[in-house]
Amino acid sequence: MGKWQRVKYQPVLPLGKDGRRVTGCKEHIALSRKAAGEGMVLIKNEKECLPLAGGARVALFGKGTIDYVKGGGGSGDVTVAYIRNLYEGMKIKEAEGKVSLLHELPEFYSREMKKQYQAGAVPGMTTEPELPAELLEKAKAFTDTAVVTVCRFSGEGWDRKCEINDEGYELFEDEKKQIELSAKIFENGDFCLTNSEAALIETVKENFANVIVVMNVGGMVDTTWFKDCDRISSVLMAWQGGMEGGLAMADVLCGDVNPSGKLVDTYAASLEDYPSTENFHESVHYVDYTEDIYVGYRYFETLPGAAEKVNYPFGYGLSYTDFDIRTIEAGERDGKIRLQVKVTNTGKRAGKEVVQVYYGAPQGKLGKPARALAAYAKTRLLQAGESQIMSLSFEISSMASYDDLGKVCMSAYVLEPGEYVFYVGNNVRDAGKIDYIYRINEVIVTEQLSRQGAPHKLSKRLLADGSYEELPVDEPTEEPGLIRQDKRKLEGYMPGAREQQMVSFMELKEAGRPQLLDVAEGKLTLDEFVSQLSDEDLIHLIGGQPNTGVANTFGMGNLPEYGVPNVMTADGPAGLRIVPECGVNTTAWPCATLLACTWDTQLVEEIGAAGAKEVKENNIGIWLTPAVNIHRSPLCGRNFEYYSEDPLVAGETGAAMVRGIQSMHVGASVKHFACNNKETNRKDSDSRVSERALREIYLKAFEIIVKKSDPYTIMSSYNLINGVQASENKEILTEILRGEWGYKGMVTTDWWTHGEHYRETKAGNDIKMANGYPKRVKEALEKGYITRAEIAVCAKRILEMILKID
């Protein structure tokens, strides 16, 4: 197929073998099921209640048996041919002779959920029905083993346990609807059980000897109610497992899949134990990141008294077998710490293990987390008694800390003198200290940078000993420019279609306009091509373009007279999102949190490639995924779409996804750059964060992805970062992203930001989506607030991106 034939002419030609379509194909659905099983985390299994014994009689309790949530809402939703819930998965196992079910129970829940769906409810936003006494008695007579499923839905644009203080903030209609509905259904906040769920679980505990809990959730939830409860034997964090999640749950419960997932977040005893909770809802206009670098396990493993607040530590997860992890060699070579670790399956079942390496740096003048993840790797499937030697390594410079106050060396990454120790194991808490120590005698500056993205209004931050230090406060300034637009004119507008003058074919031929294909074929340089475009042409390029085909998130490019195709975009991240009315069913992959819990970058890369094939087959060139924001707080409503509290896990998982996507010459769009950790008032909320935490925690995953996978595009976030709209933040988008990291790709805004188009362009945000504001940019150009050169460099980067796409 020729260059851009798909994007220009829309031939939906199959990419599969023998002329079959790959979109929503059985191979991709099987891969989704496999990934779901790999990422589910068994966090409790007393009395070896799991796996279920062959032929076991099982009673399925809870609306979640039927009310399965495949993934989150908003951009994470996917149109699919079917969704398989736990009951449907267990029926397949029953047909295979592995379990026996009391069907009257799930049939009751099915009728109840049908009523609620018909009344307008969506999966996960339903109420737990009261269990009829006669059904309970039948279940008790049938078996002593009960499986209770709890489900949760999360979505874009609203947070969990929402609180809106009256500060003149007007809710959007969707926000208001979701907040009111959430408060009605989840009277204790959806982090905790509802009263009706708690009542059901108490009933089940009182009547059954073996109680298994399945959590169909998108992220962190309350775990205290089952952790120390001796009446609950087993708990499976099944997450939101995509379209085959119910069958994948059944695979794990029945032992067809040995769980090998590990937690990518710390599970504390209560919501209030997370340092981010205190000020999460302090204001709709800002969030103070006062916990600084002490996010997740960096807080709980470091701060005095915090360790005992943890129910389940970062990296934790059980298996149906046992493993011995032994470090056989460790040392430094060529600027890297290198380890050889032997993993032996000492149990009776085949299984996989994750080796995790942590370092502990000297506290020095800057203060450090007690432990930080340095490297990890997952074994192959090891048979009982089998061993595998794992080679792990990481740069010594990756242990450096950023000095943003000049305590050691201003605006530099430094390794402070002292002993650097290492821990190896299968979670942060149980990782054992090894004998090898790396010693530094004097300060080493690993990278000298300059002050960028520093806070103006963050007055204090947490230190390793639990005290706070004061930070300088000042007033941010803004360059002169046009009077800012009314924000109401920045919401939900469709891109305008550019008028094309009536012209004959002969006139076009005689005009001899350069074509972008000439650049692709090496007949013309891109600079030569751009130099022949008018100001109006350049301004047209830096705004979003109308939809074509099955796309519904608009396009980029679209200068047909110059042969520039209109390259379509599509939402992710849980699959190619095509609206139902198009009649195209795609594959729904497990949510991002689950994928990260696999700790298997090779598997994630495989999913990226498979998803990109579906994107490409439907004539779309840019897939708006992965989302790699940090799980700063359990309260963020969009955590299901993000990977982890740890920037290394988020970065490595995201980098694998990008590699897979771009192996198909489809552009990935890594989002949301950066500090998009709250959905309430997300377009105007200011994330106030220290420069150190910004660099070490919130930008780090993006840095890893840029340096390892070179994404075609990055998406800036809605929020402000230290008083400046992320999409207008030159220090972040140009000085750090391009100047320090060497990024050569293109930056897009998120859709309908509240940033000014021309200011975004000046900052290095190449295109405004979903639509541009050409008249505003032209006015700014005429008044000297922006130059043609600044517009041209953005247009050029858009064209460079288009040239990479087939």
pLDDT tens digit string along 730-763? 999 999 999 999 999 999 999 999 999 999 999 9
- Residues 567-580 have a mean pLDDT of 93
Has residue 154 got a pLDDT over 90? no
Tens of pLDDT, residue by residue over 598-608, are 999 999 999 99
User: Does pLDDT of 341 surpass 60?
Assistant: yes
**Residues 670, 713 contacting (CB under 8 angstroms):** yes
Residue range 53-76: mean pLDDT, rounded:
93
pLDDT digits (tens, 9 = 90+) for 222-275: 999 999 999 999 999 999 999 999 999 999 999 999 999 999 999 999 999 999
Exposure of 9 in the CB half-sphere (CA atoms within 13 A): 8
Residues known to be catalytic = 750
Q: How confident is the model at residue 73 (pLDDT cuts 50, 70, 90)?
A: confident
Q: Coil, strand or helix: which one is 24?
A: coil
Whole-prediction pTM: 0.96
| Three-state secondary structure call for residue 566 | strand
What is the identity of the amino acid at 577? R
Q: 708 and 691 in contact (C-beta within 8 Å)?
A: no
Other beta carbons less than 10 A from residue 141's beta carbon: 8
Q: What is the mean pLDDT of residues 95-113?
A: 98
Residue 545 is given by DSSP the state: B
Query: What phi, psi does 349 have (nearest 5°)?
Result: -125, 150
107: phi then psi, degrees, rounded to nearest 5: -65, -35
Q: What is the pLDDT of residue 171?
A: 62
Banded model confidence at residue 356, pLDDT cuts 50, 70, 90? very high
Two tokens, residue 291: 């916990």
- Do 803 and 516 touch, CB atoms closer than 8 A? yes
Q: Compute the distance between CA of residue 16 and CA of residue 363 in angstroms, rounded to an integer.
A: 55
How many residues does the structure list for the chain? 806
Question: What's the average model confidence in pLDDT over 526-545?
Answer: 98
Question: Residues with Cβ < 8 Å from 207, sequence gap 6 or more?
Answer: 136, 139, 140, 146
Q: Please state the rounded mean pLDDT for residues 152-170.
A: 65
Distance in angstroms (rounded) separating the CA atoms of residues 143 and 330: 52
- 796 contacts: CB under 8 Å, gap ≥ 6: 526, 527, 530
Q: Which residues pair with 469 in a beta bridge?
A: 461
pLDDT per position as a tens digit, 550-566? 999 999 999 999 999 99
Residue 164: pLDDT band with limits 50, 70, 90:
low
pLDDT in tens, 432-466: 999 999 999 999 999 999 999 999 999 999 999 99
Taking phi first (over 0 means left), then psi (-120 to 50 degrees means alpha), and beta for anything else, what does residue 793 get? Answer: alpha
pLDDT for position 160: 65
pLDDT band at 184 (very low <50, low <70, confident <90, very high): confident
Cα-based distances in Å from 631 to 25, 224, 627, 675, 701: 32, 20, 11, 10, 12
pLDDT at 539: 98
| Predicted local distance difference test score (pLDDT) of residue 269 | 96
- 302 has pLDDT over 70: yes
Name the CA dihedral angle for 92, 95, 97, 98, rounded to a multiple of 10 degrees.
10
Which residues have C-beta within 8 Å of that of residue 132, sequence separation ≥ 6?
108
pLDDT band at 181 (very low <50, low <70, confident <90, very high): confident
For residues 667 and 805, the answer to whether their CB atoms sit within 8 Å is yes
The CB-side HSE value for 701 (13 A sphere, CA atoms) comes to 32
CB atoms within 10 A of CB 430: 13
Q: How far is it, in rounded angstroms, from Cα 122 to Cα 151? A: 12
What is the average pLDDT value for the chain, to the nearest integer? 94
Nearest CA to 262 among 446, 465, 431?
Answer: 431
Given a cut of 70, whether residue 576 has pLDDT beyond it is yes
Q: What is the mean pLDDT of residues 112-141?
A: 96
Q: What value does the mean pLDDT take over residues 629-643?
A: 94
SS3 content of the chain, % helix, strand, coil (to 5): 30, 20, 45
Q: Give the Cα separation of 595 and 601 in Å (integer).
A: 9
Q: Which of 15, 4, 14, 12 lies closest to 566, judged by CA?
A: 4
Question: Could you report the per-residue pLDDT of 769-782, keeping only the tens digit for each?
Answer: 999 999 999 999 99
Contact (CB, 8 A) for 660 and 612: yes
Is beta strand 323-333 parallel, antiparallel or unpaired with respect to 336-345? Answer: antiparallel
* Low-confidence winner among 63-77, 159-173, 287-301, 365-379 (lowest mean pLDDT): 159-173
Q: Over 90: is that where the pLDDT of 159 sits?
A: no
User: Between the CA of residue 176 and those of 159, 180, 444, 712, what are the distances in Å?
Assistant: 11, 6, 52, 36
Worst-scoring range by mean pLDDT, 4-8, 39-43, 94-98, 593-597? 4-8
